Amino acid sequence: MKPAPFAYVRAESFEHALDVLAEHGDDALVLAGGQSLVPMLNLRLVQPAVVLDINALHALSTIDTHAEGGLRLGALVRHREIAIHPVIATRAPLLRAAAPWIAHPAVRHRGTLGGSLALGDPAAEWPACAVALDATIRLASRARGERCVAASAFFQGLYQSDRRADELLVGCEFPRASDDSVFFFRELARRHGDYASVGLAVSARGRPGAWQDLRLVFFGVGDTPVSATACSAALIAGDAFADAQTRLEAELEPRADLWFSAPAKRHLAVQLLRDAWRDLGNPIGGT
C-alpha cells in the first residue's frame, strides 16, 4: 500500500509544467488534488517516473466570468469551491447541484475539476455535466500550444480521453445559460458520496411542449458519459413518454457493476429520466 519510488517535481510556473510534460510524456503524471492519483499510486496501479505537482500554479485556480457571460474555470478549482461559490450557483446551477454528490467533504476539499475531467471516470459527475452543458476543455502543450476540445468529443473510452500525454488540462469553459435554460441533476448511489450507480445530468432550453437543445447525459452506464440523443429527439418531437423510454432502453448499453446488473441499471436510468421529465414540468402520461 505504498507508492513505488518516483521523482517529485513541483511546477514553478505554467511554462515549467509544460516543459516537464514535454520532456517526460507518458512517464510523468500530473498531481492535482491527488484524490484519484494518490490511491492509484498507493495501490501501485500506476508507477510513474515523475509526479508533477501543479498545486502551486495559482493561475489555474481561478473562476472567471467572460464577456459573453459564460464561465471559465481553471483546472485546479476544487470540488468544494464549486459547491459554495456564489457565481457558480447563479451562472452554472447544474454544477452547483452536482457538486455535493461528489465523494465526501474531505475529498471535495482537495479534488479538482481538472483532475476529474482528465481522469474521466465513467461514473463521475463533472464529465457528465461538462457534456450536458456543452462545455469546452482547454489543453496546453509545449509542442502544440493551446487547443480546445468540445467535452462531447473529449471522453473517448474507459479512462481514455483526447488529452495527449504531454498536455496539461488548463481549464474548462461553460457557455452562458440563457433565460429559458433549465437543468436537472440526480444520481443513485448506494451510499452518499460513493460514485454513482447511475446518474443523469440534463440541460435544456424552453418549456414543456416547446423544448430545444435537450441534452440528457447519463453516467455510470457506459465507458464515458452517454448522451441519450434518440430519447431526447423523441421528447423534443413531443412523442409519448413511453416511446421516449423505449428509445432510451434501446440506446443504453450499461455494463453490470459489483451491485447492479445491466437490466437493473437500465431500469434505474429510466426512473431518473422519469424524475427529470416530471421535474421539468412535463406530463408523463399513461402511468
Partner 1 sequence: MSPREHLADALRQRCGLTGTHLGCEHGVCGACTVRVDGAAIRGCLMLAVQADGRQVRTIEGAGDDPVMQALQHAFVERNALQCGYCTGGFLLTAAELLELDPDPSREAIREYLSGNLCRCTGYQAIVDAVELAARRLRGQSGTDVALP
Ligand X SMILES: Cc1cc2nc3c(=O)[nH]c(=O)nc-3n(C[C@H](O)[C@H](O)[C@H](O)COP(=O)(O)OP(=O)(O)OC[C@H]3O[C@@H](n4cnc5c(N)ncnc54)[C@H](O)[C@@H]3O)c2cc1C
Q: Please report how close the Cβ of residue 193 comes to partner 1 at its closest, in angstroms.
A: 4
155 binds ligand X (CB under 6 A): no
234 binds ligand X (CB under 6 A): no
Distance between CA atoms of 205 and 83, rounded to whole angstroms?
A: 23
Among 20, 75, 151, 280, binds ligand X (CB under 6 A): 75
CA distances from 8 to 23, 111, 124, 220 (A): 14, 19, 27, 33
20 binds ligand X (CB under 6 A): no
119 binds ligand X (CB under 6 A): yes
Among 111, 122, 199, 220, binds ligand X (CB under 6 A): 111
Binders in 41-70 for ligand X, by CB under 6 A: none
Q: What is the secondary structure of 15-74 as a DSSP string?
A: HHHHHHHHHHGGGEEEESS-TTHHHHHHTTS---SEEEE-TT-GGGG-EEE-TTS-EEEE
Provide the CA 221 distance to its chain's centre, in angstroms.
14
58 binds partner 1 (CB under 8 A): no
Q: Which residues contact 138 (CB under 8 A, 6 or more apart)?
A: 146, 147, 148, 169, 170, 171, 172, 173
Which of 206, 207, 208, 285 shows the shortest CA–CA distance to 245?
Answer: 285
280 binds ligand X (CB under 6 A): no
- Binding map of ligand X across residues 169-188, x = CB under 6 A, - = no contact: x-------------------
Binders in 183-222 for partner 1, by CB under 8 A: 191-193
Binders in 235-264 for ligand X, by CB under 6 A: none
Give the burial class of 40: count Cβ atoms within 10 A of its Cβ; 0-12 exposed, 13-18 middle, 19 or more buried.
middle
Q: Please report how close the Cβ of residue 30 comes to ligand X at its closest, in angstroms.
A: 4
49 binds partner 1 (CB under 8 A): no
* Interface residue list for partner 1 (CB under 8 A): 1-8, 10, 31, 34-35, 38-39, 41-43, 51, 53, 55, 100, 103-107, 109-110, 191-193
